[in-house]
Structure formats: structure tokens, C-alpha cells
Amino acid sequence: MKVLYYPGCSLKTVAESFERSAKLAMAALGVELVELERWNCCGTVSALTTDDLMHQLAPIRNLIRVQEAGEERLVTLCAMCYNTLKRADLWVAQHPEELAKINAFLDEEPDYRGKVRVLHLLELLRDELGFATVKERVVRPLTGLRVIPYYGCLLLRPREVGLDSAENPRILEDLIVALGAEPVDTPYKTQCCGSYHTTTHKEIVAKRAHAILSSAREHGGEVLISSCPLCSFNLDNRQRLVRELYDGFAPVPVLYFTELLGLALGLDPQAWISEQHYVDPRPLLEEHQLLKR
């Protein structure tokens, strides 16, 4: 199966391991992720404001590219891209007059007809391939690995956009179980990581990261998985500051869910693991004998 996907800026820069692992893992599952041609930034920062047509141009233009490719669905990896693109799509569906204005402004493009479905890769795994199939394809069950699923905000909220229950999601848990690992439940899994405060108020993010990660440790978690480059940055790279501010903090490695998937499918993590991780996940993977094929 070939699926058109939208990478987003972060995956091309600070989150390379996310994209590489996703592509390899999905290839191992028989799914070829084909990158959308001529995509632009999903427009996340500006698209968060309302009643601001100019800032809907970026997401809508990407959806027009999907139309041009003759496809009706687009898969994203980054939770924020998912949220931004899907929200813009829902917004124009509910605001036909605004869509007409946007289409009139984008006179160099064909009109957006509102027929594109934006999916997150997790939805593709759950609803199209099915976790049962994923489980069958696991060649190296991650037995004994205690994994903290971290949702953050953007996979689940607002409700119309969310891919699972906003209160009690289980899609990541179900994936973790399918991969043979053990999900660790914590009360912080759907709480915010501090998001863009990371650029101006690093301490707020460090506080959030400390709360989320310490709770995860207390519940016996060894590694946290995320689906968002910003969450990952905040929970992983900000641990440097957390260590400075909070005595006795024990670091927790942070992986993209696709990295876990790749490991369970028996792929060699050297193909994607990058120096972009602040807390090196390799010792833990070594301990569980997951580094060698």
C-alpha cells in the first residue's frame, strides 16, 4: 500500500529519527509512505488564531496539493501538523463563505473542494492495518519494556479533531501492547508539555517536564513515547534544565512511537537513531537487548 504523507518542517530538521523510523517501520509493514510534493509548513503558529483568513492559506494550500496528487487522504506524523491540517479542514467545512474567499484569493490554485481526509499515522495503524496485524508482524516483541505513552494536547483536543477519547485515550497503549511491551499509566499522559513556552519561558517547560517524567518514573516507566517533535523536544532536550533545577532527577529517554514500532519489527535502530536525542536511549535498548538485530 502506498500512502501520501505530510512530513512537516520539524521532521526535516530536529526530528529526523521520527521520519526515518516511520518510513522504515511502515515499509516493513508493507506501507510505502510517499512524501507530498511541494508541501509548505502546516502553518501551525498562525493557524491557531481565528477569523484570520490569511493564516488559513498555508494548511489549505497543502490540502489542495493532496487534491492535485489525485488522493483523498493525507497521513501526518507530527501531532501538531495533524491538528493544524485537520482543524483547518474542519473549519472550512463549517465556514463555506470563508472557504469561498480563500479559494478566490488562491486564484493560482484549483479550488479546494473539501474532500481530503487528514489522518494521523496512528489512525492508519489502528483503523486500516489494525493493531492485530501489527502484532502478527512483530518479530522482536519488546517483552518487559515498560513504556509511558504520552499524548500531550494535540492528538486529542479539540474533541472534533482528536483521534481518541480526550479523557481516557488508549490508542498508544494498544500499540504498546501490540508490540509486546508494557504500557505504564500515569495521570500526566494527556497534560500539556508547555508547548511554545519553550522559546520564552524555559522554566515553565522544565517544570512540566519534571512533573510528567517524575510521575512516569514513579509508576515504573523506563521510556516515554511521543508523536510530536515539540513535545519530544520539551520532554527530552529540556531535561538538561530539569537536572539543573531539580535535585535527584533521573533522566528518562524519549522516543517517537515509530522508533518503538521499528524496534519491534526487528529493524536496526542504527538506521534512524540520531544525535538529536538528549537522553541517549541506547543504554536502555542495550539492557533490553534491542540494539542488535
CA 131 to chain centre: 17
- Under the binding rule (CB under 6 A), the answer on residue 44 touching ligand SF4 is yes
285 backbone dihedrals φ, ψ, rounded to 5°? -65, -40
Distance of alpha carbon 239 from alpha carbon 232, whole angstroms: 11
* Per-position x/- string for 244-273, each x denoting binding to ligand SF4 as judged by CB under 6 A, each - no binding: ------------------------------
Give yes or no for residue 13 binding other proteins (CB under 8 A): yes
Residue among 106 and 192 whose Cβ is closer to other proteins: 106
Minimum distance from residue 105 beta carbon to other proteins (Å):
8
Binding region for ligand SF4 (CB under 6 A) out of 77-85, 162-170, 171-179, 196-204: 77-85
Q: Is 51 in the site for other proteins (CB under 8 A)?
A: no
139 is an interface residue for other proteins by CB under 8 A: no
Judged by CB under 6 A, does residue 102 bind ligand SF4? no
Does residue 66 contact residue 4 with C-beta atoms inside 8 Å? Answer: yes
Exactly one of 1, 30, 35, 40 binds other proteins (CB under 8 A); that residue is 40
CB-facing half-sphere around the CA of 268: CA atoms within 13 A? 4
**Is the CA virtual torsion 78, 36, 260, 129 positive or negative?**
positive
CB of 82 to ligand SF4, least distance (A): 9
Of the listed pieces 3-11, 112-120, 133-141, 266-274, which binds ligand SF4 according to CB under 6 A?
A: 3-11
Q: Of all helices (H) and strands (E), which one includes residue 13?
A: none
Find, among 12, 260, 6, the residue nearest to 146 by Cα: 260
Contact call for residue 69 and other proteins (CB under 8 A): no
Restricted to residues 83-102, the positions that interact with other proteins (CB under 8 A) are: none
The set of long-range contacts for 81-84, using a CB threshold of 8 Å and a minimum separation of 24, is 81/6, 81/8, 81/42, 81/44, 82/118, 82/119, 82/120, 82/154, 82/155, 82/161, 82/163, 83/44, 83/154, 83/155, 83/161, 84/42, 84/43, 84/44, 84/47, 84/48, 84/59
Assess 41 for contact with other proteins (CB under 8 A): yes
Whether residue 254 contacts residue 105, with contact meaning beta carbons closer than 8 Å, is answered with no
Considering the rule CB under 6 A, would residue 17 count as an interface residue with ligand SF4? no
Does residue 54 belong to the site contacting other proteins (CB under 8 A)?
A: yes
Q: Is 2 in the site for other proteins (CB under 8 A)?
A: no
Residue 151 amino acid letter: Y
Q: Does 46 bind other proteins (CB under 8 A)?
A: yes
Among the listed residues 8, 59, 162, 269, the single contact to ligand SF4 using CB under 6 A: 8
Provide the binding-site residues for ligand SF4, judged by CB under 6 A: 8-10, 41-42, 44, 78, 80-81, 84, 229
